[in-house]
């Protein structure tokens, strides 16, 4: 955790689903590889909040990365 990534490099390939000002949720419909683990992710959540609760009804693997003022969470659903 804590690796710095270049999110803007993949940002244009993602669909913005939600933007609350401090949290942006992106959907990956283009098979973009996770900058952390290299596997295609399902959703990317970018937040400037210091903490964030994640809720999901399905088992998920998550990868976490950060820039100086933003936290990125990439989700990988099983199956």
Enumerate binding residues for Zn ion (CB under 5 A). 34, 36-37, 63, 74
In the bound complex, what is the minimum distance in angstroms from residue 21's beta carbon to Zn ion? 25
Give backbone dihedrals phi and psi of 31, rounded to 5 degrees, phi first: 65, 30
In the bound complex, what is the minimum distance in angstroms from residue 59's beta carbon to Zn ion? 14
Q: Which is nearer to Zn ion, 36 or 45 (CB)?
A: 36
Angle value at C-alpha 56, between 14 and 72, nearest 5 degrees: 40
In the bound complex, what is the minimum distance in angstroms from residue 65's beta carbon to Zn ion? 9
Q: Bridge partners of 73?
A: 45, 64
């Amino acid at each position: 955790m804590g690796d710095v990534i270049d999110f803007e490099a993949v940002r244009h390939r993602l669909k913005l689903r939600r933007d609350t000002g401090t949290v942006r949720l992106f959907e990956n419909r283009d098979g973009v590889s996770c900058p952390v683990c290299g596997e295609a992710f399902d959703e990317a959540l970018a937040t400037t909040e210091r903490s964030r609760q994640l809720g999901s009804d399905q088992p998920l693997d998550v990868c976490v990365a950060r820039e100086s003022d933003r936290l990125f969470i990439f989700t990988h659903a099983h199956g």
